[in-house]
Structure 1
Amino acid sequence: MGLKESWNKFFNNHSETSDNHWDPELNTHYFKTTKDKAFDTVLRYFKQQSGCEINSTSERHGEISVNYKGKRRAFVIATVVMVKPFKTAIDFSITTEGGLFDLGFSHKLITKFYADLQKEMQVLDVHSQV
């Protein structure tokens, strides 16, 4: 991680995942499941989390938006996309409220969400062929 990446990680109020992220923890996670099952799992996960209030859902677009009211307030968008049968990608975009930076809070929240979802669904290696 270079100086620019370190700066962005701690002195920014937004983090999001992508396929080739500079930080391996924020690479898109793929799960061995269908889009519908993954969407239902993510939706159920946020409904069960204290401090999470679901704003809206679009099963057609695979998006769930959540107001997170934990240690810090944040706006979360979870996107669920089926890449091929039984290979579904889940991405997160998180923007924290208040202040100009979040000291890595949005980054840590994404890694927490992924860790929790891996307990519910089987994660695939990014390079696996299913």
Structure 2
Amino acid sequence: MLKRLQNILKNHSETSENHLDPLLQTHYFKANRTKVMDAIEELVRQQSHYRLLGSSKERGELSFEVTAPRKAFAVITATSLRPFKTAVDINVTSESPLPIDFGYSRKVILSINEGLKGKLEFIGTSLLENN
């Protein structure tokens, strides 16, 4: 309960391999990094309230701005582990006069992950130790 409250009372959320929240663990997809980056870019371009700021397929990074209903800045990193196994981590910081966003940055991450699951074959979360 305390961890859930802490997640709501901040303006930043990110995924990681061993995150306490299972929905915010690193997601793995059965695709190469180029295909994952193409899917991420397509997802961002399809959303009218997302504005692509930069994309580097060579580095596996993409940044964009969320313009509505609240402003936020997001960075997505795709890392190839094998030819057809790519990890995706997302980092979102919301812009607010208050130091809290009531879970908005987490919702942005969940929305992106769901969109990617619709475009790519999802393998699972937190799979690094199961190489």
Q: Shorter-chain TM-score: which interval?
A: over 0.9
Any gaps of 5 or more consecutive residues in structure 1?
none
Q: Percent identity?
A: 34
Task: Return the letter of the residue paired with 2:92.
Answer: I
Aligned equivalent of 1:28: 26
Pairing 1:53–2:38 present: no
- SS of the equivalent of 1:125 reads strand
CA distance in 2, matches of 1:53, 1:46: 7
Task: Return the letter of the residue paired with 2:61.
Answer: E
- SS of the equivalent of 1:119 reads helix
Pairing 1:94–2:87 present: no
- SS of the equivalent of 1:112 reads helix
- Equivalent positions of 1:31-46 (< 5 A) are 31-46=29-44
- SS of the equivalent of 1:83 reads strand
CA distance in 2, matches of 1:82, 1:76: 20
Task: Return the letter of the residue paired with 1:112.
Answer: S
How does the TM-score come out when normalised to structure 2? 0.92
CA distance in 2, matches of 1:89, 1:82: 6
Q: Which runs of 4+ in 1 moved over 3 A?
A: 126-130
What's the RMSD between the two structures over aligned residues? Answer: 1.5
Cα shift readout 1:48-98 (whole Å, capped 9, x = no counterpart): 111111111111211111010121110000111111110001110000001
Aligned equivalent of 1:124: 123
Any gaps of 5 or more consecutive residues in structure 2?
none
How does the TM-score come out when normalised to structure 1? 0.92
Aligned equivalent of 2:110: 111
